[in-house]
Amino acid sequence: MSPPASPSRDHSHERRTRSFVHLLADICRRFPDLEEWLLEDFSRNGKTRTNFRELVDKGELPGEDGEDGLAAIAGEVRGWSEERTRQRAKYPPETSRFYGGLTRDEMESLIARYEARTISLDVFLLARDWRKAGSSAAASPKMLRRGARFLTAVSDSADKKLLHQYGCALDVLASLEAGKLRTSFGYADWWKLHALVYMMRHPRKGYRTREVRAHLARHGLEISSLYFQRFCKLHGIARDERAGRPRAKPSHAAS
């Protein structure tokens, strides 16, 4: 380890290095795979050290976006890709589309979109996830990167629109916690949120219109079949359009 360049920067340098070490330790507690990689593969593998140094110098990971970061640094992207291909073949995408043809992630994204209302979705999700993470947000690389992107966007835009939206997102989140959902969202978005949450709790290949309408009615939300059909068509949610149970025929008195 090289010594400090001058006495004037001793204390600030030491504070930064201690802060970094604490941050790295916090990150390792949250991601045990990283701790194992640092203590085992990284310290012993020359290729991994070279790739990591290039990342530090150039700010770019080898390989393409979407590839596993640790695999890229270790030079094992090919093996990782082959394993991913095997897993995808074993569990094809359609097996995870439990919600009218959508995945759980897609449903959660839809719910978040309606929660965000007129607020930028990225801004709303940052505010929501940061509050949810609490004190651990400061040790989360993902949250730190998202926060940095937000502040960069605020600085580059030279106005306060994004900051205003962030404040609006906090107000919406506060209303959620205070149980003022219906007032906050308005009737139209409120029934759609109820419908989406119902679908999340009741996986189906397709949803019957009358089934969802009956659920909404129990919560005092009356909507037309046409509104629900349009909502499903807009978001690509499959409906169960099979004929329902036939009505019982009236009995006739014997002649």
* Mean pLDDT rounded to a whole number for the chain: 76
Structural domain tally of the chain?
2
The string of pLDDT tens digits covering residues 79-115 is: 767 777 776 666 555 556 788 989 888 888 888 888 7
Domain boundary among 31, 61, 90: 90
60 in a structural domain: yes
Structural domain span for residue 182: 98-235
Q: Is 250 inside a domain boundary?
A: no
Residue 18: band (very low, low, confident or very high) from pLDDT cuts 50, 70, 90: low
Q: Are residues 72 and 176 in the same domain?
A: no
pLDDT digits (tens, 9 = 90+) for 105-142: 888 888 888 877 778 888 888 988 898 888 888 777 77
Q: DSSP readout, 69-114?
A: HHHHHHT-HHHHHHHHHHHHHHS-GGGG-TBTTB-HHHHHHHHHHH
Residues 102 and 226 in one domain: yes
- Residue 250: predicted pLDDT: 47
Residue 146 has pLDDT above 70, yes or no: yes
**71 plus 136 within the same structural domain:** no
Domain match, 66 and 124 both = no
CA distance 43 to 41: 6
Question: How many whole angstroms separate alpha carbon 219 and alpha carbon 240?
Answer: 22
* Residue partners of 168: CB distance under 8 A and separation at least 6: 119
First to last CA, the chain: 106
Average pLDDT over residues 227-240: 93
- Summarised one tens digit per residue, pLDDT across range 164-180 is 889 888 888 887 665 55
pLDDT value at residue 8 = 47
246 has a pLDDT exceeding 50: no
Question: For residue 135, how many C-alpha atoms fall within 13 Å in the half-sphere facing its CB?
Answer: 1
Q: CA angle 17-18-21, nearest 5°?
A: 85
- 128 occurs within a structural domain: yes
pLDDT band for 237, please (50, 70, 90 cuts): very high
Mean pLDDT to the nearest integer, 29-46: 76
Q: Residues 189, 117: contact at Cβ < 8 Å?
A: yes
